[in-house]
Amino acid sequence: MRFGLVILVVLAAVAATACDDPTEEARRAELADEFQDIPGGKQGFTEVDTASLAPLGTQLVFDTPVTLDTSKLTGPVGEPPLTGDAVVTFVGTERIDSITQEGRALAGGTGATYYDAREGIFLVVYYTVENKTEGNLQPVTHINSNFEAIDAQGRLWEQATFASHGFSVPYAIGVVSDKDDPRVAIGPGESVTTGIAFDVSVDSAGVKLRAENLDIEVTVPDVNTP
């Protein structure tokens, strides 16, 4: 009995030493950084000085269509560039802290255990897009990839995507209200309503979507809209 007690004391001392070891702490921090961007890792944000951000040329509010020159848009790898226009109208928002059971069943992906928002809530901004080109337009690449979200607190949030979360976040949320999958391309003359998603803090307010390459800034309402 006494021998067993001695072993326990020694093991506890070793564990305490490991916890206090600065090398061990550095290794843990390195691992946290390494796995930050894989599905299930912590996405986080980048702090920016909002006063240093010049307002972009086109200031948009919801329900106001904007015509995009598709030659400035980047499409799927290997696909020829588009020529012509796409008309985009931002139409609504949704904020939820976890993907619904229906959304989980339909979204699929590799992140089945990571359906809760990591930062606090998922923010989805819905938009309609009309393809006025002669080619196929894929919303997730041609449209979504241009935008970042920045809040009034100076936090720049990257998108919540299949790459960051292991499932298509905007589709998993939007499909419940009959929104379209942004990964599905639309042909000439077609239009869809789909979304772009972010994983943000619950106190994020005054959010704007910025697409510097398109010179567009979109004001996002602080409350959910239809």
Which pLDDT belongs to residue 77? 92
Residue with tokens 């979204």: 107
Give pLDDT, residue 17: 45
pLDDT in tens, the chain (226 residues): 444 444 444 444 444 444 455 554 554 444 334 434 444 445 578 888 888 888 899 999 999 999 999 999 999 999 999 999 999 999 999 999 999 988 888 776 555 557 889 899 999 999 999 999 999 999 999 999 999 999 999 999 989 988 888 889 999 999 999 999 999 999 999 999 999 999 999 999 999 999 999 999 999 999 998 7
Reduced to 3 states, what is the DSSP secondary structure of residue 194?
strand
Contact (Cβ atoms closer than 8 angstroms) between residue 124 and residue 177: no
Contact 147, 211 (CB under 8 A): yes
The label of the residue with tokens 């904020």 reads: 95
Domain segments of the chain as ranges: 2-34, 46-219
Q: What is the CATH number of domain 46-219?
A: 2.60.40.1240
Determine the Cα–Cα distance for residues 13 and 40; give it in Å rounded to an integer.
Answer: 33
pLDDT of residue 69: 96
The reported pLDDT for the residue numbered 4 is 46
Number of Cα atoms under 13 Å in the Cβ half of residue 179: 32
The 10s digit of each residue's pLDDT in 152-173 is 999 999 899 888 888 899 999 9
Q: What is the pTM of this model?
A: 0.79
196 burial level (CB within 10 Å; 0-12, 13-18, 19+): buried
